[in-house]
Amino acid sequence: MSQPIVSIAGVTKTFGPFTALHETNLQLNAGEFVTLLGPSGCGKTTTLRLIGGFELATTGSIAIEGRDVTSLPPYRRPVNTVFQDYALFPHMSVEENVAYGLTAGSSVVPKADREARVRDALGLVGLTSYGSRLPGALSGGQRQRVAMARAIVKRPRVLLLDEPLSALDVKLRETMQIELKRLHRELGITFLMVTHDQGEALALSDRIVVMSQGRVVQVGAPTDLYDRPCSAYIADFIGASNLLDATFEAASGGVDVFQLSDGTRIHKARRDGESIQKLQIGSRVQLGIRPEHVHLSPIIDGNEIEARLAGNLFLGDRLRLELFPARSDRPFFVDLHRDESSRRAPELGEKVKLYVGAADIMCFAEAER
């Protein structure tokens, strides 16, 4: 197995009495697109800055391509960073901004080579004809592309992206996501991105590192995190998930039986490869159900849940229903495709029977609020 391009071993980071990052171990492979995902204050930006050299670890070590860089400044690490605010020089042209990193310190590149590398970088981001413009004459998306070109012109082994799309509007973000994916494919280098946007992480990443309160809580491919979250926190954070408090009753033939607070029994089929939880009779758990896995018509091996419709949201390609199961103050969401909702759209206040397949139930051993 090849050596990881970035290796973080036992790294912590404190600021006075506050611990921003608890003992963390993480490896990035060459050519991967990895995303650090989590809410504000979870430690993802601190992790990025530690790799980039903008912060120094309190304990632990960081290696890039097998070389210990724990104490090295940013300019001595084979990485480059695209910042959230792009940090472009307003008085410099696009070409001058992109070339800046090749004209200072130990990174000075001969003029002819420098001009060729700037042209190549601008070509990769689709800005070949914008070299003479000032940043103030560019749109937000174009400034983001300039920041990308300036980062890749130095040919880093790892590109660090600190919420690079957060300043863009929704439509432009979607366009730039496609461009980021293309750029990653064409460059073939390792991308490490920080974001709090779950959809962005799912769309772009080979692997996602989910963080909470300064700790890594789960690492995996987007499909793994979505289909097999390790906790109720992950299930609720990656996509949407309905969480129901329940009590474990019995297990038989690969099926676990739970009881909701209103007495409803829920059957959960164990999935292939799923570890069997050692639950005691009477153990309190949370059951997770994705909104798209809920049906309004009976299905084979389906569980039945009764709920009252409280509202709905039109989301373009689907209708999201907000319901409340009996004896629950937690909303329960159901996503219906437009053709399905037009055939059977319940009225506000109406009691509705919901059906969920036994194989579509997730179980989390610790009840969380």
Among 141, 119, 139, smallest CA distance to 131 is for 119
Q: Which fold has domain 242-364?
A: OB fold (Dihydrolipoamide Acetyltransferase, E2P) (2.40.50)
> pLDDT at position 369, please?
43
**Domains in the chain: boundaries:** 6-233, 242-364
User: Could you report the per-residue pLDDT of 126-172, keeping only the tens digit for each?
Assistant: 999 999 999 999 988 899 899 999 999 988 999 999 998 887 888 88
User: Could you report the per-residue pLDDT of 179-206, keeping only the tens digit for each?
Assistant: 899 999 999 999 999 999 999 999 999 9
- Top-level CATH class of 6-233? alpha beta
User: Could you report the per-residue pLDDT of 110-131, keeping only the tens digit for each?
Assistant: 888 888 999 999 999 999 999 9
> pLDDT at position 108, please?
77
> pLDDT at position 33, please?
97
> pLDDT at position 344, please?
66
> pLDDT at position 254, please?
84
User: Could you report the per-residue pLDDT of 80-107, keeping only the tens digit for each?
Assistant: 999 888 889 999 999 999 998 888 766 6
Beta-bridge partners for 67: 64
The alpha carbons of the chain give a radius of gyration, in whole angstroms, of 25
User: Could you report the per-residue pLDDT of 49-63, keeping only the tens digit for each?
Assistant: 999 999 999 999 999
Q: What is the pTM of this model?
A: 0.89
Q: Are 264 and 337 in contact (CB under 8 A)?
A: no
Please spell the DSSP secondary structure of 292-359, one letter per residue.
Answer: GGEESS--TTEEEEEEEEEEEEE-SSEEEEEEEETT--S-EEEEEEHHHHHHS-PPTT-EEEEEEEGG
Q: What percent of the chain has pLDDT over 90?
A: 67
Whether 343 shows a pLDDT value over 80: the answer reads no
> pLDDT at position 172, please?
84
Which residues have a Cβ under 8 Å from the Cβ of 49 and sit 6 or more positions away? Answer: 55
> pLDDT at position 272, please?
67
Average pLDDT, the chain: 90
Beta-bridge partners for 59: 12
